[in-house]
Amino acid sequence: MAAETLAGQGLAVDLFDAMPSVGRKFLLAGRGGLNLTHSEGPQRFLARYGARSGELREALAGFGGEAVRQWAAGLGIETFVGTSGRVFPTDMKAAPLLRAWLHRLRAAGVRVHTRHRWTGWDGAGGALAFDTPAGPVVHRADATVLALGGASWPRLGSDGAWVPLLRERGVALAPLQPANCGFDVVPTRPGASGWSDWLRQRFAGHPVKPVAARLSVQAPADSQQGEFVLTDSGIEGSLVYAFSAALREEIAARGQARWIIDLLPQHSAQQVLAETQRPRGPRSLSTHLKSRLGIAGVKSALLHELLTAEQLADPATLATALKALPLPLARARPVAEAISTAGGVCLEALDAHGMLREVPGVFCAGEMLDWEAPTGGYLLTACLATGRIAGLGAARWLQHAGAGRQGESA
């Protein structure tokens, strides 16, 4: 997006990618359907960025959800709004959009260089240095936009290797952390690494739905409904990702977090208590819960995993657990497994145009910046929006530096 913005200003643009082809993480985002953006209104959309919503306001005002849809349409890609409000290409694929985008960039004169891994600046401190299959090369540019990703999915190129390069230049950085990630549970049995062998062998990979979830400090009215998946060591999935930032912070502050799940979001607490207190005669507890409340399979397994026999036998305790079952979480999964990354270049290290205050002429965009958002199209939208801001900022820098003539490069 930065390259497209700069080329639109009549500037000569070189785009370098460490991988053999460009946009590999973009293609990964399209696995199972490319969620480009979200259709909700601007204020609610902006609120998804939490503590960084204020700093991202201008970028998203200039290129928000509707602008993303118009941009895609300009590339010949029609979009639709799904039942969840998420926006997808009609064919649910990323490759056609990426091909059309690269064709337009090349037609605008953007020169694409693959297998060029940025390694910092040359000894004189001016030219950009790259490792390539043919050996080290340097490239001198009048302005530079870095869009190097965070540290999630490093096999696609975003490995965080840029961190020491910017730290050496005095750029303020926040530690890279996993965002939109899974979590390991506190071991439920002595000697276990997470779930018991019984639960892991029978139910790892199973979705838990429908459920509602909240943080331990939230009231039931603040819960969100959705689904999650049991893993070998804990939990993952869209509902978990919506809470990942808060869970990560609670673990950092207290050593572990408690995620409260409602296994019966369509039932009131009174209805559940009435059913657990109902005499079940010769029927087993599992049969009773299945016939009266639909609790079976993985939901029943979770109850037996997390409650003692005495708690299961007490109707009031069981009813409380069905509506507010606490999952103790020990740690986030490693950042390399996460969908996205928190941390990176502090937004305070940038001026209003996306330029590093400590490194004039160098701009930053995308996931390498210290912001995070849940899945749902918010990640891609903010990457595009900050790329556009960096491109506009670089063009402005060149103009103010007296280099904004046709043929000057970025």
pLDDT at 405: 45
What CATH number does the domain located at 2-179+335-400 have?
3.50.50.60
Please report which helix (H) or strand (E) contains residue 66, including its range. Answer: helix 65-74
Residue 11 CB-half CA count within 13 A: 28
- Between CA 118 and CA 133 the distance in angstroms is 13
- What is the amino acid identity at position 144? T
Distances (CA, A) of 365 to 9, 25, 147, 354: 18, 15, 5, 7
pLDDT at 402: 64
DSSP state of 156: G
Tell me the DSSP string of 15-37: EE-SSSSS-HHHHHHTTT----E
pLDDT at 190: 75
In the block, tokens 């730290």 appear at 167
pLDDT at 24: 93
Mean pLDDT of successive 10-residue segments in the chain (410 residues)? 97 97 92 93 95 96 98 97 95 96 97 97 87 96 96 93 97 97 90 86 96 92 94 95 95 96 97 95 94 96 96 96 97 95 97 96 97 95 98 96 59
In b/e form, how buried is each residue of 350-376, taking b as 16+ CB within 10 angstroms?
Answer: beeebbbeebebbbbbbbbbbbbbbbb
Q: Which of 90, 57, 146 is nearest to 359 (CA)?
A: 146
In b/e form, how buried is each residue of 99-115, taking b as 16+ CB within 10 angstroms?
Answer: eebbeebeeeebebeee
pLDDT at 125: 67
Look up the pTM and report it: 0.91
In the block, tokens 């000057």 appear at 408
pLDDT at 217: 87
Do the beta carbons of residue 185 and residue 328 sit within 8 Å? yes
Domain spans in the chain, listed from the N-terminal domain onward: 2-179+335-400, 183-332
Do the beta carbons of residue 112 and residue 18 sit within 8 Å? no
